[in-house]
Chain A
Amino acid sequence: MEQLNMKALEKKAFRSFFKDGIYDVFLGLMLLSFGLPLMLNEFGWIDYEKMTWPLVFALTLNVGALLFFVFGKKYITVPRLGFVRFGKGRKRKMRHVKLLLVISALIGLVIFFLVLFKVLPVGGETGIPPVGLIFGIQVLIVFSLAAYFMDFTRLYLYAFLFAVSLPVTFWLKKNDILAYPSLYVFSLTAGPMLVVGWILFFRFLRKFPKKIEQGVGDE
């Protein structure tokens, strides 16, 4: 019983760092980076077969998301919520998450090269391509496990939204159901993450003003 309560206390403290919405915005922007090249292609603004521009857009959004995450945590969250080094159990869980993300990135890299060298069809006219299914399945597994290790409940929903985005887009394209499938699909998948993220972010800024620490023992 005593052990359980302490675990709950640690979990509550750890989860307080998800109140800032930065993870949500980061993930929303990352997902949008997958959809943006497809959207631009649907509008006829870029040539989908030439990989250069889609990649430039995707990478710019990825870098932007990463910078927002790193600097947001460092200059916005920590000065407001404080600095903490969690215990061994939490560190072990976070090592699992890092390992999962590395494996996921490696799989992503392999998929990227398979697409680049046209081993895997990227989609469009042929229905749901292997690349969409592989992406969906691996994201669902990796994000769900990360959500479990991080005690980050919203991440389960985000895992689902990430996983369905590409396969549904390709399926809609194949069946010619909508004029701009990626616009609708990515608005409905990345959109909620960004909306939730920005709401939490501004609520966090209002609720936790920057505190200046006074010395221990000074009153």
Chain B
Amino acid sequence: MSKQKKSDTSDLSRLLSIDKVIHEPARFMILAYLSTVESADFIFLLNQTGLTQGNLSFHLSKLEESEYVGIEKQFIGKRPHTLLSITDKGRKALKEHLKVMKELIDGLFGAY
């Protein structure tokens, strides 16, 4: 059983199955922050992640396309206000990504 597991974790082809939407550092960071809160607005994420407005906006769109993040747009007065939250699908994908990455790293560096 452990031999089987060892061969699994040292199989680099598993890297190809990694979720590329989450694997991008900025998107991973956004999902990690959103996974710790119920919901947050655009400015909160901007401050926490240190990304630029354009960058954050771009990556949020990608995460929204993959249905990992739910975006609710509101107007407070004349200003746009975007409330963001991680979806169940996003939370599951993040957990899975962390698990796969951990297994791969353990498998690759376990021998050292």
> Is there contact, CB below 8 Å, between B54 and A216?
no
> Is there contact, CB below 8 Å, between A215 and B38?
no
Complex alpha-carbon distance, A16 and B81, angstroms: 21
B44 to chain A: which residues have CB within 8 Å? Answer: 13, 81-84
Query: Number of residue pairs across A and B with beta carbons under 8 Å?
Result: 92
Most buried by A among B33, B42, B47, B53: B47
A2 to chain B: which residues have CB within 8 Å? Answer: 98, 102
> Is there contact, CB below 8 Å, between B36 and A9?
yes
* B 30-45 binary contact with A (CB < 8 Å = 1; else 0): 0011011111111111
A86 to chain B: which residues have CB within 8 Å? Answer: 37-38
> Is there contact, CB below 8 Å, between B47 and A85?
no
> Is there contact, CB below 8 Å, between A82 and B40?
yes
| Complex partner residue of B48 from A16, A213, A217, CB under 8 angstroms | A16
Q: Is A87 an interface residue (CB 8 A)?
A: yes
| Complex partner residue of A213 from B36, B43, B64, CB under 8 angstroms | B43
Q: Is A49 an interface residue (CB 8 A)?
A: no
> Is there contact, CB below 8 Å, between A83 and B73?
no
Complex alpha-carbon distance, A87 and B91, angstroms: 14
| Complex partner residue of A215 from B33, B46, B82, CB under 8 angstroms | B82
> Is there contact, CB below 8 Å, between A84 and B39?
yes
- Nearest CB in chain A to that of B52: its residue: A219
Q: Is B71 an interface residue (CB 8 A)?
A: yes
**B interface with A by C-beta (< 8 Å):** 32-33, 35-48, 53-54, 57-58, 60-61, 64, 71, 73, 79-83, 98, 102
